[in-house]
């Protein structure tokens, strides 16, 4: 746990450095990014092992695709476009102000704070840090206390590759996060729950610190009547069960035409068996992060059953490998089998909170209007998914709903598109990063007007009289 005085000292050192050097030369930004890439290239196995230790059971291959692949793609994209993104942007000057010239300079904000979560503890820590470094900022990162091995490795590796004035990691519990949120950053990024996001926003507001809040919510998935149910079930199962459902943009509940429930349940069971023939001891199927989180999911299911819901637990494929010895990973007991829940209602906890686990409520609808009305009656989600063939129905859903992002005929994939901004709306957050949008999120776009020596602005100076009236009449006639 980093002592509070050390955290304040690190922040002040970064703040002093950025005030002494408000801009960072392009070559320095690029060199910092290359150092971050070297950190990943040389120490990915160590970080993957740390993630495995924190979860108890999470394959390094899962961390490779869900954390490292995303980061490497972002790094390549950023390095490829950094020169263009950093150039001043020329803007058209109104005729009345010519021959002056205007431009927008993209300038670092200063010190960027990042408070990252536990579910993808490498990706969601380093992705916003990467965008902030590309824009020329200094970064102070506070990773999650629920992944202590990963947080400790990040702290050691960042200290190995960066001076503390450039990029530093602090460790600690919720009190440390509260302290970090209270510092007067030039920008603060928080990824986590909506409830904690509200507290972070309140703490940042005291310093007028602008924030990017990447929160969660109940992301709906709509199946249209004409969709390929087998294909949809496979893609929904992948999106829901990646990291055992502990994904902020995982489908949180399913809306499908009433009467299709049994067919979907059969297709989903087949899809689950293809992806995860067995659960306990399967390194590709992540553990629930802590016993407390597992108990919460089980309580949700028990309450739903008590209130009349039907719970269908997915079964392992007969003949799958037997449960391995406990020494393989202490998270085996927290590998929760996927569950479908039919007949869920609004008074159930699993329909009131983001589930964040391998539990998928299935709701039937009579008309597409009913599905849209259900979505619009609840807070705006971070993601929305639609499966079907009808372009008219697809466009109707997209036009009449608001969500942070959308993937059509798949799940999760919009987050991997570097030219699409990623972020929430309403209760699911605000602000977006990834690609150029991330770069701009951590820039101050400074307006610069360069006056010409042939300026005629003096014609509008007092004393006002007949000349002033003639000039104003002329300006009113300009297009």
CA-to-CA dists, residue 112 to 18, 109, 136, 321, angstroms: 11, 8, 10, 47
Instruction: Please confirm, yes or no, whether 469 is among the known catalytic residues.
Output: no
List the catalytic residue out of 166, 214, 354, 418. Answer: 214
Q: What angle do CA 402, 407, 409 make, to 5 degrees?
A: 125
Q: What angle do CA 233, 425, 141 make, to 5 degrees?
A: 95
Distance of CA 298 to the CA centre of its chain: 26
Distance of CA 232 to the CA centre of its chain: 24
**428: helix, strand or coil:** helix
List the catalytic residue out of 248, 261, 280, 418. Answer: 248
Question: How much is the pLDDT for 320?
Answer: 77
Q: Does domain 4-215+432-444 have CATH number 3.40.605.10?
A: yes
For residue range 317-376, what is the model confidence (pLDDT) as tens digits? 988 776 665 444 578 889 999 999 999 999 999 999 999 999 999 999 999 999 999 999
For residue range 130-168, what is the model confidence (pLDDT) as tens digits? 999 999 999 999 999 999 999 999 999 999 999 999 999
Tell me the two tokens of residue 51: 């993630």
Question: How much is the pLDDT for 322?
Answer: 66
Average pLDDT, the chain: 95
Per mean pLDDT, which range of 34-43, 62-71, 93-102, 343-352 is the poorest?
Answer: 93-102
Tell me the two tokens of residue 304: 């739903």
Distance of CA 133 to the CA centre of its chain: 18
Task: Measure the CA–CA gap between 368 and 159, rounded to whole angstroms.
Answer: 53
Question: How much is the pLDDT for 323?
Answer: 62
Which pLDDT band, with edges at 50, 70 and 90, does 264 fall under? very high
Architecture of domain 220-422: 3-Layer(aba) Sandwich (3.40)
Question: How much is the pLDDT for 478?
Answer: 84
The predicted model gives 204-215 an average pLDDT of: 96
CA-to-CA dists, residue 87 to 90, 135, 159, 410, angstroms: 9, 11, 30, 36
Tell me the two tokens of residue 324: 């391995």
Task: Measure the CA–CA gap between 344 and 346, rounded to whole angstroms.
Answer: 7
For residue range 431-479, what is the model confidence (pLDDT) as tens digits? 988 999 999 999 999 999 999 999 888 888 999 999 999 999 988 888 7
3-state helix, strand, coil in the chain (%, to 5): 50, 15, 35
Instruction: Please confirm, yes or no, whether 248 is among the known catalytic residues.
Output: yes
Q: Count the helices and strands in the chain (H runs, E runs).
A: 15, 18
Question: How much is the pLDDT for 466?
Answer: 92
Provide the β-strand partners of residue 387. Answer: 223
Largest distance between two CA atoms of the chain: 97
Give the HSE-up count for residue 246: Cα atoms under 13 Å, Cβ half-sphere.
Answer: 24
Does pTM top 0.85 for this prediction?
yes
DSSP letter, residue 350: G
Task: Measure the CA–CA gap between 425 and 257, rounded to whole angstroms.
Answer: 27
Helix (H) or strand (E) holding 255: strand 253-257
> Could you tell me the residue ranges of all domains in the chain?
4-215+432-444, 220-422
Judge if the upstream peptide bond of residue 99 is cis by omega within 30 degrees of 0: yes
The predicted model gives 83-94 an average pLDDT of: 94
Question: How much is the pLDDT for 297?
Answer: 98
């Amino acid at each position: 746990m980093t002592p509070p005085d050390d955290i304040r000292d690190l922040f002040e050192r970064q703040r002093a450095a950025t005030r002494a050097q408000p801009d960072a030369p392009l070559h320095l930004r690029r060199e910092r990014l290359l150092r971050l890439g070297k950190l990943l290239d040389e120490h990915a196995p160590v970080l993957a092992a740390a993630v495995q230790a924190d979860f108890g059971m999470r394959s390094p291959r899962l961390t490779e695709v869900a954390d490292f692949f995303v980061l490497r793609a972002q790094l390549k994209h950023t390095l490829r476009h950094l020169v263009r993104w950093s150039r001043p942007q020329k803007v058209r000057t109104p005729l009345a102000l010519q021959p002056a010239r205007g431009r927008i300079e993209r300038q670092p904000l200063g010190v960027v704070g990042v408070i990252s979560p536990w579910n993808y503890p490498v990706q969601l820590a380093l992705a916003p840090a990467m965008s902030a470094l590309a824009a020329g900022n200094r970064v102070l990162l506070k990773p999650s206390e629920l992944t202590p091995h990963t947080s400790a490795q990040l702290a050691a590796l960042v200290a190995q590759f960066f001076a503390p004035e450039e990029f530093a990691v602090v460790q600690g519990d919720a009190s440390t996060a509260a302290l970090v949120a209270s510092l007067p950053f030039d920008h603060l990024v928080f990824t986590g729950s909506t409830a904690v996001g509200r507290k972070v926003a309140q703490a940042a507001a005291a310093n007028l610190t602008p924030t990017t809040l990447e929160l969660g919510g109940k992301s709906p998935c709509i199946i249209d009547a004409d969709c390929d149910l087998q294909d949809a079930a496979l893609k929904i199962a992948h999106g829901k069960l990646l990291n055992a459902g502990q994904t902020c943009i995982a489908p949180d509940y399913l809306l499908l035409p009433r009467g299709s429930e049994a067919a979907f349940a059969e297709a989903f069971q087949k899809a689950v068996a293809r992806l995860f023939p067995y659960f306990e001891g399967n390194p590709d199927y992540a553990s629930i992060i802590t016993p407390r989180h597992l108990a919460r999911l089980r309580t949700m299911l028990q309450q739903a059953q008590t209130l009349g819901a039907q719970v269908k637990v997915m079964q392992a494929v007969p003949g799958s490998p037997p449960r391995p010895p406990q020494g393989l990973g202490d998270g085996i007991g927290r590998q929760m089998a996927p569950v479908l829940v039919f007949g869920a209602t609004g008074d159930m906890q699993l329909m009131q909170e983001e589930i964040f686990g391998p539990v998928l409520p299935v709701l039937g609808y009579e008309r597409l209007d009913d599905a849209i009305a259900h979505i619009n009656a609840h807070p705006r989600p971070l993601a929305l998914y639609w499966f079907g063939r009808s372009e008219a129905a697809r466009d109707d859903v997209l036009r009449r709903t608001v969500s942070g992002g959308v993937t059509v005929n798949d799940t999760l994939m919009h987050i991997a598109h570097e030219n699409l901004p990623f972020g929430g709306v309403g209760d699911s957050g605000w602000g977006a990063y990834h690609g150029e949008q991330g770069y701009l999120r951590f820039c101050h776009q400074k307006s610069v007007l360069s006056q010409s020596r042939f300026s005629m602005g003096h014609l509008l100076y007092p004393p006002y009289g007949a000349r002033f009236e003639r000039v104003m009449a002329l300006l009113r006639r300009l297009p």
